[in-house]
Amino acid sequence: RPIYFLNGPNLNLLGQREPDVYGRTTLADVEGACRALGAELGLEISFKQSNHEGQIVDWVQEARGTAAGIVINPAALTHTSVAVLDALNSFDGPVIELHISQVHKREAFRHHSYVSQRADAVMAGFGVHGYELALRHMAQLLG
Ligand code: DQA
């Protein structure tokens, strides 16, 4: 069963958007790196991005019974979405919450995460390298 990588609003602009905060690597580059590492680890990957909260909820629901685990960068939905949290609470496998930037060093509104109520692990400030680290940890968790 695949590992779902779910990416929220504005992450389609990764590499162009606030490069001083998020770096110059694109989301397509990140996906490529995850696929390469997944092949090495023998893990299938399903990599998705949407700007729409309902689409993220739909993908989390789809993951039920389909995905072995979820790595999610909910982006701004982290700080606003009870719906994404509720959806994740319906999923049985491991959930890793990932932020490219170190959110606790940033604005106060980024310090609270609804998703952290459910996440088994939370990452922030590892840059885009966090995606590969999350995949390695997922491999460990899934044994
Ligand atoms: C983010 C941090 C969020 O606060 C922000 O809204 C994002 C990206 C990160 O990856 O650092 O869009 O999740």
Every domain of the chain and the residues it spans? 3-142
Q: Who contacts 92 (Cβ-Cβ below 8 Å, separation ≥6)?
A: 64
Name which CATH class applies to 3-142: alpha beta
**What's the token pair of residue 94?**
């491991």
pLDDT at 118: 98
Q: For residues 58-86, give the mean pLDDT.
A: 98
Query: ipTM score here?
Result: 0.99
Reported as a single tens digit per residue, the pLDDT across 37-47 is: 999 999 999 99
SS3 43: coil
Cα(76) to centroid(ligand 1), Å: 6
pLDDT at 112: 98
pTM over 0.80: yes
Q: For residues 79-94, give the mean pLDDT.
A: 98
Q: Any idea what the Cα angle at residue 27 is, between residues 42 and 51, rounded to 5°?
A: 115
Residue type, 137: H
pLDDT at 60: 98
Residue nearest ligand 1's atom 2 by CA: 75
Closest CA to 58 of 95, 90, 96, 94: 90
Q: Is 136 in the pocket of ligand 1 (CB under 6 A)?
A: no
pLDDT band at 25 (very low <50, low <70, confident <90, very high): very high
Q: How high does pLDDT run on average in the chain?
A: 98
Consult the annotation and say whether 100 binds a ligand: yes
Reported as a single tens digit per residue, the pLDDT across 91-139 is: 999 999 999 999 999 999 999 999 999 999 999 999 999 999 999 999 9
Per the CB < 8 A criterion, the answer to whether 28 and 49 are in contact is: no
